[in-house]
Amino acid sequence: MTAAIVLGGGRATRLDGADKASIVVDGARLVDHVFAAVADCPQVIAVGPDTLVRPGVTVVREDPPFGGPVAGIAAAVQTVDCDDVWLLACDLPRAVEIVRRLADEPIGDDDGVILVDATGRAQWLAGRYRTAALRSSLTRIGDAHGASMRQLVNGLNLRTVHDRTGAAADLDTWADVADYRLRTKGQPMTDTQPPNLDAWIADLSRELGLGDVDVPVRELLDLTREVAHGVARPAGPISTFLVGLAVARGSTVTDAQAAVSALIEARA
């Protein structure tokens, strides 16, 4: 089993001190995209202020606060009971794709597996690590306050996976946020939450004469988002329709989703 550590964003000086985790893109706060990606993990530990509190999420804080990502990881990893742990920044709106991409990647004798972007830059906060390896590295560092991620991973044997779709692109500045919203044609950044999908699904199912059906909402939304980013935005709903046809002909949602992901990867 794999736990998850989500880093809450620190002082966010490049965002003028804004609460980075609470910036809304794609209809949800940035950190909630990350929490959704690790919802199935037996442990989810967030590092940061109490605004990160969610059901099923343990919130910790480095002491003193604002000690940097390594200090946050040191505070969080003490509570991890799993052999492996995700390390994820809070500003990854496509965290679901990251987790799906790396979840089945074997670590083997390595200390972890991470994404590497198109420029060759390692995305250390978009990866899955051996908990014991992180603890060993933290022991070597000693005082984690102010330590860099480079110091933490120095000496770790990390396997890299190319991020061909840019899933690990984070939002460090307002320009990053604006560019992401422009590319995804998202709604303005507000705290408005998405409409009640359950009520809409129930009403539409009744209108279409489908009765009480079990709709895999999360999987379909993830699929639509992945296709929109990996192919083109109009391809998202069309692909979801085609997946529906495949399921009607005997496939499962999981198998159809895997086929879509494999095709996106092959075309990258």
Structural fold of domain 2-184? Spore Coat Polysaccharide Biosynthesis Protein SpsA; Chain A (3.90.550)
Domains in the chain: boundaries: 2-184, 197-267
Between residues 260 and 148, the one the model is more confident about: 148
Task: Work out the burial of residue 174: count CB atoms within 10 Å of its CB; fewer than 13 is exposed, 13-18 middle, 19 or more buried.
Answer: middle
User: What is the overall mean pLDDT for the chain?
Assistant: 87
- Output the CA torsion sign for 78, 80, 82, 84: negative
User: Rounded to an integer, what distance in angstroms lies between the CA atom of residue 15 and that of residue 21?
Assistant: 11
Q: Over the stretch 226-256, which tens digit does the pLDDT of each residue have?
A: 787 778 777 888 888 898 899 889 988 888 8
Average pLDDT for residues 193-216, to the nearest whole number? 77
User: CA angle at residue 154 from 150 to 160, to 5 degrees?
Assistant: 85
Q: Which pLDDT does position 268 carry in this prediction?
A: 61
Task: Indicate the pTM of the whole model.
Answer: 0.70
Please state which of the ranges 134-138, 190-194, 236-240 shows the lowest mean pLDDT: 190-194
Q: Which pLDDT does position 209 carry in this prediction?
A: 86
Q: Over the stretch 64-109, which tens digit does the pLDDT of each residue have?
A: 988 999 999 999 999 999 999 999 999 999 999 999 999 989 999 9
Nearest to 43 by CA among 89, 78, 80: 80
Between residues 216 and 186, the one the model is more confident about: 216
Q: Supply 125's token pair.
A: 């906060």
